Amino acid sequence: MTSPLILGPMLRHVGETTATIWVETEGAATVRVRAGGRSWQARTFAVHDHHYALVELDGLEPGAVLPYEVDVDGGRAWPEGDSEYPASVVATWEPGRRLRLAYGSCRTSVPHDLEGNLTHGVDAMRAFALALAEGYAGRPDLMMFLGDQVYADITSDEMQEFIRNKRDIDEEPGEELKDYEEYAHLYRLAWSDPANRWLLSTVPTAMIFDDHDVRDDWNASHDWKQKMEATSWWHGRIVAGLGSYWVYQHLGNLTPEERADDELWQRIAGHDGDDELDLTDEVDAFADRSDREPTSVRWSYTRDFDDIRLVVVDSRAARELDPDARGLLDAEELEWFDAQLRGGFRHVLIATSLPYLLPMGLHNVEAWDEAISQGAWGRRPARVGEVLRQAVDLEHWGAWQDTFQKVARMVRELAAGERGPAPQNVLFLAGDVHYSYLAQVDRDDVPGARILQAVCSPIRNPLPRVMRWFSVVMSYGAATPIGRLAARSAKVPDAPFRWRTVKGPWFANNLAMLLDAPDELRLTWHTGVVEDGDQDHPHLEQVADVRVPADPRARVTSG
């Protein structure tokens, strides 16, 4: 019998007394969640002939662990009758509990067979799901996905087959995604593997996009956007990309209070008819406005776990592309970010898809490229700089020096206790670069809190070996002295502090874990390993273990 669920249930935002469960269904329906002797229900809403429900659970007890079931139109749809996985649970936050956070970025959706594992490596998220199902200690309180959960521009054979059955794949945009229907199928490929589907049903998730959710180098520059807008297909892509992101990712990021302020959600919550609400036109209009007027929506958000603050920053859609006022964050977004960086927390975590602290050599190369692209060496070198920016992805924080410097000032003030009592650590969490590492700002430059960055990338999309060599050279080799000289030649201001890689890099597919232990932050990176040719059941193997002592003056060590 065919399940009425296409995707989900996905456990999204969970608080002390509330939880959010998202599903996609085969058709219009009433979705009911049952747990702890109670039930909550929601009617589906439609977008481009796809059907979704977001069920809000309330009145829960802090620290509760409740197995739950999902009914669709009165029949049980989850768990499936032949499931080999444990019961899905809602685990509410309990004040005083030590935070356990999983995170990573960059995950392609290809089969988990021998061919898929040879070309894309073992899916670290799936290996973790299997380990958790088998009793691996420590279910995370939150799993944070830092971008590129779907690749709209680099599609798999399965996705291309779907496209061919729908339109002429030889016409623009070819093998890339064109519309909402194709995005919906891409999410289905990403989230329907049974092990990953179970994981997403039992661990709360938070998400933010990066470029491949829309297209490589999304909003790299004004020149890049002009080229895209001159195509026949870009408008359809960005409307579909942002609209589907709101449905599949953003809506579940929101707290009940934040959802109550969301105009689209107000339409859903206020619909009192028995018929299904069709939001297609509203979602398309919202996505179009979000692209044309980035300040009309905020994709960033903040979560507090007792005395730990997590700030999730949109480093893609909130950019200011005007060549005379370039900013990785526009003025309104920067002001919002500034307001979130306050003292009084033991740890402040800043989650951003793009690493803030690139290896120094690469940071300087990107700063130099921005300067010459802006005309530091004249018009002709500016054109060369723009070509380089788009060709080799020179568009991280270092390539937006005005924003980089302003954020550095904010972080220094936070670390020094100028924004309230200083935390023990200010820790950037990032992805994107397809290798993992830990960086630390030199203590002599910034006294007070320790400033770190822990990168985890990719979950499943490893660099080819030749590109790994290139990345090491660009990041840690010749680029370091060359980048410094180049940046100075273009009169780039010196960075306000120095930093260095203290652990890594690691190039395996990884999922990272952060544990707030009593006397330290513990950071571990984990990969999936196939043994004896059993592609279906990779086991989880630890790649690195780093201990960050509570005392900011103590050294970071390996476990």
pLDDT above 70 as % of the chain: 98
| pLDDT reading at 2 higher than 90 | no
pLDDT recorded at residue 216: 97
Give the 3-state secondary structure of residue 329. Answer: coil
pLDDT recorded at residue 383: 96
The predicted-structure confidence for 254-306, as pLDDT tens digits, reads as follows 999 999 999 999 999 999 888 999 999 999 999 999 999 999 999 999 999 99
Cis peptide before 294 (omega within 30 of 0): no
pLDDT recorded at residue 514: 98
The predicted-structure confidence for 35-54, as pLDDT tens digits, reads as follows 999 999 999 999 999 999 99
Give the angle 302-306-312 at the CA atoms, nearest 5°: 20
CA atoms within 13 A on the CB side of 402: 17
What average pLDDT does the chain have? 95
Sign of the four-CA dihedral 505, 133, 352, 341: negative
pLDDT recorded at residue 475: 67
The predicted-structure confidence for 437-480, as pLDDT tens digits, reads as follows 999 999 888 889 999 999 999 999 998 887 787 777 766 666 67
User: What is the H or E stretch that residue 102 is in?
Assistant: strand 100-104
Q: How far is CA 282 from CA 54, 353, 442, in A?
A: 17, 28, 49
pLDDT recorded at residue 349: 98
d(CA 451, CA 425): 6
* Per-residue pLDDT band at 494 (split at 50, 70, 90): confident
* Per-residue pLDDT band at 33 (split at 50, 70, 90): very high
The predicted-structure confidence for 190-229, as pLDDT tens digits, reads as follows 999 999 999 999 999 999 999 999 999 999 999 999 999 9
- Segment 496-517 shows an average pLDDT of 95
Residue 63 tokens read as 């620290």
d(CA 398, CA 400): 5
pLDDT recorded at residue 1: 64
**Which amino acid does the sequence have at 106?**
C
Query: Which domains, ranges and CATH numbers included, belong to the chain?
Result: 5-558 (3.60.21.70)
| pLDDT reading at 26 higher than 80 | yes
> Which contacts qualify for 81-84: CB closer than 8 Å, 24 or more apart?
83/194, 83/198, 84/194
pTM (predicted TM-score): 0.97
pLDDT recorded at residue 477: 65
SS3 of 377-444: CCHHHHHHHHHHHHHCCCCCHHHCHHHHHHHHHHHHHHHCCECECCCCEEEEEECCCCCEEEEEECCC
Match 């996705």 to its residue by tokens: 159
CB neighbours of residue 466 within 10 Å: 8
The predicted-structure confidence for 317-353, as pLDDT tens digits, reads as follows 999 999 999 999 999 999 999 999 999 999 999 999 9
pLDDT recorded at residue 474: 67
